[in-house]
Amino acid sequence: MNRLYHFPLSPFCRKVRLSLAEKKIEVELVEERYWEPDADFLRRNPAGKVPILKLNGHTYSDSTAICEMLEELHPTPALLPRDANDRYEVRRLVAWFDGKFHDEVTSKLLMERVYRKVMGLGYPDSKNVKQGLKAIKYHLDYMAWLLDQRRWLAGDSMSLADFTAAAHLSSLDYVSDVDWNRSEAVKDWYAKIKSRPAFRSILADQIPGNLPSRQYADLDF
Chain contacts with a copy of itself (rule: CB under 8 A): 46-47, 58, 60-62, 64-66, 68-69, 72-73, 84-85, 87-88, 91-92, 94-96, 99-100, 142
Q: Which of 55, 61, 51 is nearest to 18 (CA)?
A: 51
* CB 197 to a copy of itself: min, Å: 26
* CB 144 to a copy of itself: min, Å: 14
Side-by-side strand order, sheet with 3-6: 28-31, 3-6, 52-55, 58-61
Judged by CB, which is closer to a copy of itself: 73, or 219? 73
Reduced to 3 states (helix: H, G, I; strand: E, B; else coil), residue 56 is coil
Reduced to 3 states (helix: H, G, I; strand: E, B; else coil), residue 134 is helix
Judged by CB, which is closer to a copy of itself: 54, or 196? 54
* CB 99 to a copy of itself: min, Å: 8
- Give me the DSSP letters along 82-121: SSHHHHHHHHHHHHIIIIIIIIIIIHHHHIIIIIHHHTT-
Judged by CB, which is closer to a copy of itself: 59, or 206? 59
* CB 211 to a copy of itself: min, Å: 32
